[in-house]
DNA sequence: TTGTAGGCGTTATCAG
DNA sequence: CTGATAACGCCTACAA
């Protein structure tokens, strides 16, 4: 077992001082060609690499980014993560991930763990519970300590920081509008509890489209489910209401609907059109294939990482910080569950 | 902006020495009740937390685990990751993830980055390219440095380390056997290129089951696709061969087959039975719902993390290391795409 | 009971 | 051109 070699080992072996070794390996012009060659050759031979931890302590830079997300077994978050990881890696950063599991407490604990020097900045999407409680003190503390923070998707107005969001309201408007253009009159909205910022934005877009087309909003046609995979209650909702189109805030509700609708003997898209959110694996392989809103998670992740790394590397702005909110444009992927 | 407070600050403020502060905060019995109270109160007030980096440097323990996986937008890897993250977190470890994207080079680069002090141990599934090249020097180097390593799912015999694998051959045998028990004679195998260790194990089980039942193996019925989402070629394969059952090494191939088969006017499971691998979201929401092999990724991740943390915390075994290979038992989830 | 000194591995400043 | 010294933040054996 050959332990990692340090500057000290090299110095001792070559009978020079530690600082000479350090300079030689950093190719300092202070050191003679000869000794540089000798030291560099030796270092290569023994595969010397500086210890990241020591460098971090010295520079007060860890080159680590902390990512906190509510869920990892989830297509959207996973694509965002991929975007973050790729960009970060290309720029010499590693990514530490913690999962809040939608829990406020776990979010707080994870943030505190990482904030004690492990990372240079945070990228996160708020836990459901956090959005419900509206308690953002953990975020405040972190930003007050000067640790850069980028919020994505599930954001809050109460914290001043960079943000990356989808144009949820607009795209929901556009989707609803396209259903109306197909001649649909009784358009259902399947959504989650409204404390999720994205759900309420999407509902806004849905309502606006109906209003603009002078279709009165039937509150019966809005089904609010408590949680992402909680699919109960959809069936009775569908049979109780006379529906000719569905807008769903996620893939799972949409696919589940399609199955139920087909069992009821109705045809998609002839009798009922369906549009979902999240262009995941389900949408591509369902029967019929689902028309859905692509959220471009990769892009969101990349933009978030870019914003964060810029902030990390330019902390020279002492006081007058400027925060930006980047809006990612969603696109509707037209497949077989709609007519247009 | 209130910067993080250090021992030094507290010491200066309270006019004691740094070591007194350190001892007081660690509740050392060397320090008087009075000064302890005073120091602890002050520390609490200013929310003192030790700097992780400094502690890491001192202890030569980072409390970080490095995870390197081929892909993150992938149900199985994602569940394994969740298992790792949960166990690690409960035991005070954070997780740094790198994605190799099936590339040998990225796997090597990522390992080297993390091996320079950033982590206490690795958990990984080999990149496809690595399994193809059979070049494991990066793994050797890391283990020779005394960094613990746990391989899962995509493993190799050439490295001595802890491993966590699925009983791939057995479960493929069992699945095939159950298809035979349904009376199926022409059972197709949809698999990926054989350098993936798991694919070849599954093929072994498939062949064994047929042989034991004296069904001659028709090599025409084995379709090898280059990559996970490369679904071309399935259609012509299905029409060219007279098939009454399908065993697929993943969900996507299986779902895609079901779509094609149904378009050909055949019924599932009456005319053709289908069994897939990976109990993901597709299997649950397909029509009909897919009978599939659950790989229990959460469990694999948990076991891998457990093995790794044990090794990290008991490195007192100087020479005679013992490595174990844990086998996770897959289970077949019976749904609607098979008769039994 | 408290403080001093040294070290973890690196880099930077300043003498020689 | 090379080396001694200090510092990053923390811990701990030893001295006072």
Tens of pLDDT, residue by residue over A295-320, are: 999 999 999 999 999 999 986 555 56
Q: Using a pLDDT cut of 90, give the percent of chain A over it.
A: 89
Residue A233 reports pLDDT greater than 90: no
State whether the beta carbon of B86 lies below 7 angstroms from any atom of strand C: no
B63 vs chain A: nearest CA distance in angstroms?
Answer: 10
Q: Which CATH class is domain B1-48?
A: mainly alpha
pTM, 2 dp: 0.94
Count the residues in chain B. Answer: 340
Q: Is residue B57 less than 8 Å (CB to CB) from chain A?
A: yes
**Of the ranges A10-24, A28-42, A187-201, B161-175, which one carries the lowest mean pLDDT score?**
A187-201
Per the listing, tokens 């910067």 go with B3
Closest-CA residue of A relative to B3 is A145
pLDDT at B193 > cutoff 90? no
Structure tokens at A46: 């023994």
- Cα separation of A104 and A81, whole Å? 20
Minimal Cβ distance to B73: which of A78, A97, A287: A78
pLDDT at residue number B282: 93
Q: Do B64 and A96 touch (CB under 8 A)?
A: yes
Which of A49, A85, A252 has the CB atom closest to B99's CB atom?
A85
Of all residues in chain B, the one with the smallest CA distance to A3 is B145
Residues 125-164 of A with CB under 8 A from B: 141, 144-146
Verify whether the Cβ–Cβ distance B281 to A285 is below 8 Å. no
Identify the top-confidence range among A29-33, A192-196, A306-310. A306-310
Cα–Cα distance between A283 and A288 in angstroms, integer? 9
Looking at residue A287, its pLDDT comes to: 87
CB A20 under 7 Å to nucleic chain D: yes
The 8-class DSSP code of residue B68 comes to E
Q: Six-digit token pair at A56?
A: 């971090």
Q: Note the pLDDT of residue B316.
A: 56
Provide the pLDDT for residue A60: 95
φ, ψ for residue A266, nearest 5 deg = -95, 155
Residues 55-84 of B with CB under 7 A from strand C: 57-58, 60
Proximity of residue B52 CB to strand D below 7 A: no
Cβ–Cβ below 8 Å for A53 and B53: yes
The two three-digit tokens of residue B130, written as one number? 């690595």
Chains A–B, number of C-beta pairs less than 8 Å apart: 139
Q: What does the pLDDT read at residue B147? A: 95
Instruction: Note the maximum CA span of chain B.
Output: 87
How many Cβ atoms are within 10 Å of A340's Cβ, its own excluded?
A: 11
Of A149 and A228, which is predicted with more confidence? A149
Question: B53-165+300-328: what fold?
Answer: Rossmann fold (3.40.50)
Instruction: State the nearest residue by CA to the C1' of D3.
Output: A17
Q: Write the pLDDT tens digit of every residue in B22-62.
A: 999 999 999 999 999 999 999 999 999 999 999 999 999 99
Q: How many CB atoms lie within 10 A of CB B59?
A: 9
**Which H or E run includes B86?**
helix B75-90
For strand C, give the nucleotides within 7 A of a protein CB.
1-5, 7-14
B281: contact with A, CB 8 A cutoff: yes
A60 touches strand D (CB under 7 A): yes
Report the share of chain A in percent with pLDDT over 70. 97
Q: What does the pLDDT read at residue B319?
A: 60
pLDDT band at B195 (very low <50, low <70, confident <90, very high): confident
Nearest-Å Rg of the Cα atoms of chain A is 26
**CATH number of the structural domain A168-295:** 3.40.50.2300
Interface contact flag, B282 A287, Cβ < 8 Å: no
At B326 the pLDDT is 98
Confirm if B254 and B275 have CB atoms less than 8 A apart. yes
A221 min Cα distance to partner chain B (Å):
24
In sequence order, what are the residues at sequence separation of 6 or more whose Cβ sits closer than 8 angstroms to the Cβ of residue A143?
A149, A159, A160, A161
What distance in Å separates residue B312's CA from the closest CA in chain A?
15
Q: Give me the residue spans of the domains in chain B.
A: 1-48, 53-165+300-328, 168-295
Q: Say if residues B194 and B202 touch (Cβ distance below 8 Å).
A: no
Averaged pLDDT for residues B218-240: 86
Q: What residue is closest to D5 (Cα–C1')?
A: A19
Nearest CB neighbour to B282, from listed A50, A79, A281 = A281
Digit-coded pLDDT (tens) for B306-321: 999 999 998 655 566 8
Task: Show the tokens assigned to A98.
Answer: 């913690």
Angstrom distance, B61 CA to D11 C1': 14
pLDDT at B1 over 80: no
Nearest chain A Cα distance for residue B31, angstroms: 26
Q: Which two structure tokens, joined as six digits, stand for A92?
A: 């010499």
Mean local confidence (pLDDT), B133-158: 96
A51 touches strand C (CB under 7 A): yes
Topology agreement, domain A1-48 and domain A53-165+300-328? no
The alpha-carbon gap from B222 to the nearest alpha carbon of chain A, in Å, equals 23
Is the predicted pLDDT of residue B130 greater than 80, yes or no? Answer: yes
Does the CB of A34 fall within 7 Å of any strand D atom? yes
Give me the sign of the Cα torsion angle A154, A160, A164, A170. positive
* Best residue in A53, A60, A264 for a mutation probing chain B (most B CBs within 10 Å): A53
A164-177: pLDDT as tens digits: 999 999 999 999 99
Instruction: Tell if the CB–CB gap between B118 and A85 is shorter than 8 Å.
Output: no
User: Do the chains contact at A78 and B72, CB–CB below 8 Å?
Assistant: yes
pLDDT of residue A321: 80
Q: Is B264 on the interface with A (CB under 8 A)?
A: no
Of the listed ranges A1-5, A24-28, B88-92, B178-182, the least confidently predicted one is A1-5
């Amino acid at each position: 077992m050959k332990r990692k070699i340090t500057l000290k080992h090299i110095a001792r072996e070559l009978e020079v001082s530690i600082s000479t070794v350090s300079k030689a390996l950093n190719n300092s012009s202070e050191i003679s060609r000869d000794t540089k060659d000798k030291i560099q050759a030796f270092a290569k031979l023994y595969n010397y690499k500086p210890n990241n931890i020591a460098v971090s302590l010295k520079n007060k830079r860890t080159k680590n980014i902390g990512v906190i997300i509510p869920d990892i077994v989830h297509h959207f978050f996973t694509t965002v993560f991929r975007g973050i990881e790729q960009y970060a890696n290309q720029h010499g950063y590693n990514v530490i991930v913690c999962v809040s599991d939608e829990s406020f407490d776990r979010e707080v604990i994870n943030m505190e763990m990482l904030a004690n020097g492990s990372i240079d900045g945070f990228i996160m999407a708020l836990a459901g519970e956090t959005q419900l409680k509206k308690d953002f003190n953990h975020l405040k503390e972190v930003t007050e300590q000067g640790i850069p923070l980028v919020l994505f998707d599930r954001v809050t107005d109460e914290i001043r920081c960079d943000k990356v969001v989808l144009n949820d309201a607009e795209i929901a408007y556009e989707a609803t509008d396209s259903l109306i253009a197909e001649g649909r009159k009784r358009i259902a909205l399947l959504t989650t509890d409204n404390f999720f910022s994205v759900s309420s934005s999407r509902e806004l877009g849905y309502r606006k489209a109906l209003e603009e087309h002078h279709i009165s909003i039937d509150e019966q046609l809005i089904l609010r489910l408590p949680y992402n995979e909680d699919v109960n209650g959809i069936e009775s909702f569908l049979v109780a209401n006379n529906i000719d189109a569905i807008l769903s805030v996620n893939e799972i509700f949409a696919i589940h609907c399609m199955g139920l609708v087909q069992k009821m003997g109705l045809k998609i898209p002839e009798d009922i059109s369906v549009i979902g959110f999240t262009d995941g694996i389900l949408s591509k392989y369902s029967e019929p294939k689902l028309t859905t809103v692509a959220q471009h998670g990769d892009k969101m992740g990349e933009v978030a990482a870019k914003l964060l790394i810029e902030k990390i590397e330019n902390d020279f702005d002492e006081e007058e910080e400027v925060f930006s909110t980047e809006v990612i444009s969603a696109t509707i992927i037209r497949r077989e569950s709609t007519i247009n």
